[in-house]
Protein backbone atom coordinates (compact mmCIF):
# COMPACT_ATOMS: atom_id res chain seq x y z
CA UNK A 1 0.00 0.00 0.00
CA UNK A 2 1.42 3.39 -0.99
CA UNK A 3 1.04 6.27 1.43
CA UNK A 4 0.80 9.77 0.04
CA UNK A 5 1.61 13.12 1.66
CA UNK A 6 1.35 15.10 -1.56
CA UNK A 7 -1.86 16.79 -0.37
CA UNK A 8 -0.03 18.61 2.41
CA UNK A 9 1.48 21.21 0.08
CA UNK A 10 -1.79 22.34 -1.57
CA UNK A 11 -3.86 22.02 1.63
CA UNK A 12 -1.89 24.52 3.70
CA UNK A 13 -2.12 27.40 1.14
CA UNK A 14 -5.84 26.69 0.66
CA UNK A 15 -6.48 26.76 4.40
CA UNK A 16 -4.56 30.04 4.63
CA UNK A 17 -6.66 31.48 1.79
CA UNK A 18 -9.83 30.35 3.58
CA UNK A 19 -8.64 31.98 6.80
CA UNK A 20 -7.76 35.22 5.01
CA UNK A 21 -11.27 35.33 3.51
CA UNK A 22 -13.00 35.10 6.91
CA UNK A 23 -10.87 37.03 9.42
CA UNK A 24 -13.73 38.23 11.63
CA UNK A 25 -15.15 34.72 12.02
CA UNK A 26 -11.75 33.27 12.88
CA UNK A 27 -10.86 35.98 15.39
CA UNK A 28 -14.20 35.73 17.19
CA UNK A 29 -14.04 31.92 17.12
CA UNK A 30 -10.42 31.90 18.31
CA UNK A 31 -11.02 34.22 21.26
CA UNK A 32 -14.33 32.50 21.99
CA UNK A 33 -12.75 29.04 22.22
CA UNK A 34 -10.01 30.40 24.50
CA UNK A 35 -12.56 32.10 26.73
CA UNK A 36 -14.69 28.95 26.86
CA UNK A 37 -11.73 26.86 27.95
CA UNK A 38 -10.74 29.36 30.63
CA UNK A 39 -14.27 29.71 31.99
CA UNK A 40 -14.81 25.94 31.98
CA UNK A 41 -11.60 25.46 33.96
CA UNK A 42 -12.51 28.15 36.50
CA UNK A 43 -16.08 26.87 36.87
CA UNK A 44 -15.00 23.26 37.39
CA UNK A 45 -12.52 24.35 40.08
CA UNK A 46 -15.23 26.35 41.86
CA UNK A 47 -17.82 23.56 41.71
CA UNK A 48 -16.50 20.02 41.53
CA UNK A 49 -20.01 18.56 41.83
CA UNK A 50 -21.14 20.16 38.57
CA UNK A 51 -17.90 19.52 36.71
CA UNK A 52 -19.45 17.05 34.25
CA UNK A 53 -22.24 19.46 33.35
CA UNK A 54 -19.76 22.29 32.87
CA UNK A 55 -17.58 20.29 30.48
CA UNK A 56 -20.65 19.02 28.64
CA UNK A 57 -21.66 22.64 28.07
CA UNK A 58 -18.08 23.34 26.97
CA UNK A 59 -18.24 20.53 24.37
CA UNK A 60 -21.57 21.87 23.11
CA UNK A 61 -20.11 25.37 22.74
CA UNK A 62 -17.02 23.99 20.95
CA UNK A 63 -19.24 22.11 18.51
CA UNK A 64 -21.12 25.34 17.86
CA UNK A 65 -17.86 27.10 16.97
CA UNK A 66 -16.80 24.12 14.84
CA UNK A 67 -20.08 24.21 12.93
CA UNK A 68 -19.82 27.96 12.42
CA UNK A 69 -16.13 28.14 11.44
CA UNK A 70 -16.04 24.86 9.51
CA UNK A 71 -19.26 25.66 7.68
CA UNK A 72 -18.07 29.08 6.57
CA UNK A 73 -14.72 27.64 5.48
CA UNK A 74 -16.53 25.13 3.26
CA UNK A 75 -18.73 27.89 1.85
CA UNK A 76 -15.63 29.91 0.94
CA UNK A 77 -14.52 26.93 -1.16
CA UNK A 78 -17.85 26.71 -2.98
CA UNK A 79 -19.36 23.90 -0.91
CA UNK A 80 -22.72 24.56 0.72
CA UNK A 81 -22.93 22.93 4.19
CA UNK A 82 -26.05 20.86 4.83
CA UNK A 83 -25.81 20.51 8.61
CA UNK A 84 -27.86 23.25 10.23
CA UNK A 85 -27.46 24.52 13.78
CA UNK A 86 -30.42 22.29 14.63
CA UNK A 87 -28.11 19.32 14.09
CA UNK A 88 -25.56 20.55 16.61
CA UNK A 89 -26.10 17.61 18.96
CA UNK A 90 -25.20 15.21 16.14
CA UNK A 91 -21.84 16.95 15.82
CA UNK A 92 -21.35 16.76 19.59
CA UNK A 93 -22.12 13.03 19.47
CA UNK A 94 -19.62 12.52 16.66
CA UNK A 95 -16.92 14.44 18.55
CA UNK A 96 -17.51 12.18 21.53
CA UNK A 97 -17.28 9.06 19.35
CA UNK A 98 -14.02 10.24 17.76
CA UNK A 99 -12.60 11.13 21.19
CA UNK A 100 -13.48 7.70 22.56
CA UNK A 101 -11.89 6.01 19.54
CA UNK A 102 -8.69 8.01 20.09
CA UNK A 103 -8.69 7.16 23.80
CA UNK A 104 -9.07 3.46 22.97
CA UNK A 105 -6.06 3.79 20.68
CA UNK A 106 -4.19 5.53 23.49
CA UNK A 107 -4.84 2.56 25.77
CA UNK A 108 -2.87 0.43 23.31
CA UNK A 109 -0.09 2.94 22.59
CA UNK A 110 0.43 6.54 21.48
CA UNK A 111 0.96 5.66 17.81
CA UNK A 112 -2.42 3.87 17.37
CA UNK A 113 -4.13 6.89 18.92
CA UNK A 114 -2.43 9.23 16.45
CA UNK A 115 -3.34 6.92 13.58
CA UNK A 116 -7.02 6.90 14.61
CA UNK A 117 -7.01 10.70 14.97
CA UNK A 118 -5.52 11.01 11.49
CA UNK A 119 -8.05 8.68 9.85
CA UNK A 120 -11.03 10.44 11.48
CA UNK A 121 -9.66 13.93 10.76
CA UNK A 122 -12.32 14.73 8.13
CA UNK A 123 -15.28 13.39 10.12
CA UNK A 124 -16.49 16.77 11.40
CA UNK A 125 -16.14 18.53 8.05
CA UNK A 126 -17.92 15.67 6.28
CA UNK A 127 -20.79 15.82 8.75
CA UNK A 128 -21.09 19.59 8.29
CA UNK A 129 -20.90 19.22 4.52
CA UNK A 130 -23.24 16.27 4.05
CA UNK A 131 -25.56 16.53 7.06
CA UNK A 132 -25.62 12.73 7.39
CA UNK A 133 -25.37 10.64 10.55
CA UNK A 134 -22.27 10.80 12.70
CA UNK A 135 -21.15 7.21 12.22
CA UNK A 136 -21.45 7.21 8.43
CA UNK A 137 -19.30 10.34 8.04
CA UNK A 138 -16.71 8.95 10.44
CA UNK A 139 -16.26 5.86 8.29
CA UNK A 140 -16.33 7.93 5.14
CA UNK A 141 -13.41 9.93 6.56
CA UNK A 142 -11.66 6.63 7.35
CA UNK A 143 -12.08 5.50 3.74
CA UNK A 144 -11.12 8.81 2.12
CA UNK A 145 -7.89 9.00 4.11
CA UNK A 146 -6.76 5.44 3.52
CA UNK A 147 -3.78 6.68 1.48
CA UNK A 148 -3.63 10.24 2.71
CA UNK A 149 -3.57 9.71 6.47
CA UNK A 150 0.14 10.68 6.71
CA UNK A 151 -0.91 14.17 5.57
CA UNK A 152 -3.50 14.41 8.32
CA UNK A 153 -1.07 12.96 10.84
CA UNK A 154 1.30 15.85 10.13
CA UNK A 155 -1.59 18.30 10.58
CA UNK A 156 -2.68 16.60 13.81
CA UNK A 157 0.85 16.79 15.20
CA UNK A 158 1.23 20.40 14.09
CA UNK A 159 -1.91 21.62 15.84
CA UNK A 160 -1.62 19.27 18.81
CA UNK A 161 1.84 20.66 19.50
CA UNK A 162 0.22 23.97 20.50
CA UNK A 163 -1.92 22.14 23.05
CA UNK A 164 1.08 20.09 24.21
CA UNK A 165 3.15 23.26 24.61
CA UNK A 166 0.42 24.65 26.85
CA UNK A 167 0.55 21.53 29.04
CA UNK A 168 4.35 21.76 29.16
CA UNK A 169 4.26 25.35 30.35
CA UNK A 170 1.64 24.56 33.00
CA UNK A 171 3.62 21.53 34.17
CA UNK A 172 6.93 23.37 34.51
CA UNK A 173 5.42 26.62 35.82
CA UNK A 174 2.61 25.55 38.16
CA UNK A 175 2.99 28.62 40.33
CA UNK A 176 1.99 31.89 38.77
CA UNK A 177 1.61 35.12 40.73
CA UNK A 178 -2.04 35.51 41.71
CA UNK A 179 -2.27 38.92 40.09
CA UNK A 180 -1.19 37.46 36.74
CA UNK A 181 -2.76 34.00 36.90
CA UNK A 182 -5.86 34.94 34.89
CA UNK A 183 -3.82 36.69 32.19
CA UNK A 184 -1.32 33.83 31.96
CA UNK A 185 -4.02 31.17 31.72
CA UNK A 186 -5.94 33.13 29.11
CA UNK A 187 -2.75 33.55 27.07
CA UNK A 188 -2.14 29.80 27.20
CA UNK A 189 -5.75 29.13 26.23
CA UNK A 190 -5.34 31.47 23.27
CA UNK A 191 -2.35 29.41 22.18
CA UNK A 192 -4.13 26.05 22.41
CA UNK A 193 -7.34 27.40 20.84
CA UNK A 194 -5.30 28.49 17.83
CA UNK A 195 -4.67 24.81 17.19
CA UNK A 196 -8.38 24.01 17.52
CA UNK A 197 -9.51 26.74 15.12
CA UNK A 198 -6.68 25.93 12.72
CA UNK A 199 -7.77 22.30 12.75
CA UNK A 200 -11.32 23.22 11.74
CA UNK A 201 -10.11 25.25 8.76
CA UNK A 202 -7.46 22.81 7.54
CA UNK A 203 -9.93 19.93 7.79
CA UNK A 204 -12.27 21.82 5.46
CA UNK A 205 -9.38 22.58 3.09
CA UNK A 206 -8.20 18.97 3.06
CA UNK A 207 -11.72 17.73 2.39
CA UNK A 208 -11.92 20.00 -0.66
CA UNK A 209 -8.65 18.52 -1.91
CA UNK A 210 -9.55 14.89 -1.19
CA UNK A 211 -13.18 15.06 -2.35
CA UNK A 212 -13.79 18.25 -4.40
CA UNK A 213 -17.41 19.43 -4.60
CA UNK A 214 -19.11 19.63 -8.04
CA UNK A 215 -18.46 23.37 -8.24
CA UNK A 216 -14.70 22.73 -8.23
CA UNK A 217 -15.04 20.26 -11.10
CA UNK A 218 -17.09 22.82 -13.01
CA UNK A 219 -14.32 25.39 -12.63
CA UNK A 220 -11.72 22.89 -13.86
CA UNK A 221 -13.64 21.36 -16.75
CA UNK A 222 -15.98 24.23 -17.60
> pLDDT tens across 142-169, in order?
999 998 999 999 999 998 888 777 666 6
H-helix or E-strand containing 93?
A: helix 88-108
Q: For the chain, where are the E strands, in sequence order? A: none
> Which residues 6+ apart lie within 8 Å of 130 measured at CB?
82, 83, 137, 140
DSSP 8-state secondary structure symbol assigned to residue 147: T
Q: What is the pLDDT of residue 145?
A: 94
If one compares 169 and 141, the residue with the highest pLDDT of the two is: 141
Count of other CB atoms within 10 angstroms of residue 113 = 18
Of 118, 136, 117, residue with least CA distance to 126: 136
pLDDT at site 17? 92
- CA–CA distance from 175 to each of 48, 179, 185 (Å)? 21, 12, 11
The pTM for the full model equals 0.86
Instruction: Please report how the helices 51-76 and 178-210 are oriented relative to each other, as an axis angle in degrees rounded to 10.
Output: 40
pLDDT band at 190 (very low <50, low <70, confident <90, very high): confident
Q: Say how far apart CA 123 and CA 171 lie, in whole Å.
A: 32
Q: How far lies 195's CA from each of 77, 200, 218, in Å?
A: 21, 9, 33
Per cent of the chain over pLDDT 90 is 44
Query: Which of 30, 33, 130, 120 lies closest to 74 in space, CA to CA?
Result: 130
Amino acid sequence: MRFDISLLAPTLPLSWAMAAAMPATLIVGWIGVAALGLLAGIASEQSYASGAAIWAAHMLALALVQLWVGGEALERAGCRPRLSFGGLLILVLQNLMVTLAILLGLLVLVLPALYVAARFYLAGSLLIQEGKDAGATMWRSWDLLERHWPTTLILVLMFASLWAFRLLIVYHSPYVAADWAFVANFGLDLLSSLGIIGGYVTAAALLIKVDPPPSVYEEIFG
